[in-house]
Structure 1
Amino acid sequence: MSDGWLKAADLDDVVDGEPFACEIAGTKLALYSLDGCIFATSNICSHAYALLSDGLIEGDAIECPLHNARFDIRTGKALTSPAEKDIATYLTKVEGNAVFVRISD
């Protein structure tokens, strides 16, 4: 796929309530299914190195498994301490059974 869109997962891999870890183009991502939409964020907590895909989804937020910092899945905004820095978010699209993520602008 051109224009920075890369296949990240099959749609069946991204289940409501469970973050899905993947890596594309050297970028560690976490994918989420919320309200029938797929979202992608960095999979690395901005506070300390921990995989957000090992955390818990609570509403529209992912909670880091290391120090319980929470991030908005839709925007990447840091919601609670100890995280003070937002995490990256990425555009997603679904074509058929494939989830694509746009890594570059």
Structure 2
Amino acid sequence: MSRERACSVAELEPDTAKRVVLGGVPIAVVKDSAGAIHAIGDTCTHGDISLSEGFVEDDTLECWAHGSQFSLLSGKPLSLPAYEPVPVFVVEIDGDDVYIDPDVKKDIA
């Protein structure tokens, strides 16, 4: 699969997340407090909860139901009860649009 348009940059407010589904993959597109745009898997690894309904602070996204925080940079959980990471996707900005390839995940060391 190739990259798909996820949303426009204008649809994203700082410290917010937007749920999109691309190629059947739920993704949380997030604009952090510094204005950087990230894309991570939208499902909390602790439970079947949409992370895009959670809280953004700096470069983390917190699950509203369980309180686990995930790094927007690595997808790694930063607090319990989650202990498995969520996938992180490559984001491309083309003009005023945000593109993501749901089949290409960032290689996080």
Give TM-score, length-normalised by structure 2: 0.89
Q: What SS is found at the alignment partner of 1:19?
A: strand
Q: What SS is found at the alignment partner of 1:53?
A: helix
Tell me the CA shift for residue 104 of structure 1. Answer: 1.9
**Residues 62 and 70 of structure 1 are in contact (CA less than 8 Å); yes or no, is this contact kept in structure 2?**
yes
Q: What SS is found at the alignment partner of 1:12?
A: helix
Give 2:21's aligned residue. Answer: 23
Q: What SS is found at the alignment partner of 1:20?
A: strand
Distance 2:21 2:2 in 1: 14
**Structure 1 segments unaligned to the other structure (5+ residues):** none
RMSD: 1.1
Distance 2:101 2:12 in 1: 17
Give 1:54's aligned residue. Answer: 53
Distance 2:94 2:69 in 1: 30
Sequence identity, in percent?
23
**Structure 2 segments unaligned to the other structure (5+ residues):** 105-109
